[in-house]
Chain A
Amino acid sequence: DAGVIQSPRHEVTEMGQEVTLRCKPISGHDYLFWYRQTMMRGLELLIYFNNNVPIDDSGMPEDRFSAKMPNASFSTLKIQPSEPRDSAVYFCASRVGPSGQGDSGELFFGEGSRLTVL
């Protein structure tokens, strides 16, 4: 399996611009998570989806952030307008849901998208 795939790996943009980050979860995984990592705050959960439905977006910092999952193989995280304090590494992760064999719950991460807002 190719693992969780994120794009772009690096994004440099100017304040006020729109940023769209993309994620392809592992095939067959029912849950998708968006995290943000900074030196100051560590890993923060922004939002997660179950079967393409947003379940908990309480970690989304502001209305400037939005996330969608139009199908089981694709999700986006959008920031509009971007600000310098949004600079961070954004990770997407996925895991399989409960099945007849139980719920191992192992979480798999992508390589991340490093965002720099000037």
Chain B
Amino acid sequence: KQEVTQIPAALSVPEGENLVLNCSFTDSAIYNLQWFRQDPGKGLTSLLLIQSSQREQTSGRLNASLDKSSGRSTLYIAASQPGDSATYLCAVRPFNFNKFYFGSGTKLNVKP
């Protein structure tokens, strides 16, 4: 069974700092990996989707990378802002499966 781990569970940084969130998974046979953002009391908003054949995806200040061989993905946030404060979750879809396995998330606080 695929296991997804996100470390750290919480992170607090000053505004303007560049930061990296980590996601690791145990089985490298994945179809894709998706990063989500969740604000308190809200649903999950899709940020980036990386297919297994891709190494990275970029959207604005966000860049997600994927290294299947090591079972790792990182979400890089450039020039962080207080509005980036939220919980960030990664989800892995194994190859030939339609299930997504979620990490427990990293709660980010960007201080003004």
Contact = CB atoms under 8 A, between A and B. Distances in A.
Chain B interface extent, by class: 20 to 34
A106 B42 contact: no
B46 interface: yes
Interface string A95-111: 00000000111111111
Interface of A: 4, 31, 33, 42-43, 45, 48, 50, 55-56, 91, 93, 103-112, 114
26 contacts: A4-B43, A33-B100, A42-B102, A42-B104, A42-B105, A43-B89, A43-B102, A45-B99, A48-B98, A48-B99, A50-B98, A56-B99, A105-B31, A105-B93, A106-B34, A106-B46, A107-B34, A107-B100, A109-B36, A109-B44, A109-B45, A109-B46, A111-B42, A111-B43, A112-B42, A112-B43
Interface of A is mostly: strand
Contacts, number: 48
B43 A45 contact: no
B91 interface: yes
Contacts of B102: 42-43
Contacts of B31: 103, 105
A112 B38 CA distance: 11
A55 B99 CA distance: 10
A107 B43 contact: no
B32 to A, nearest CB: 5
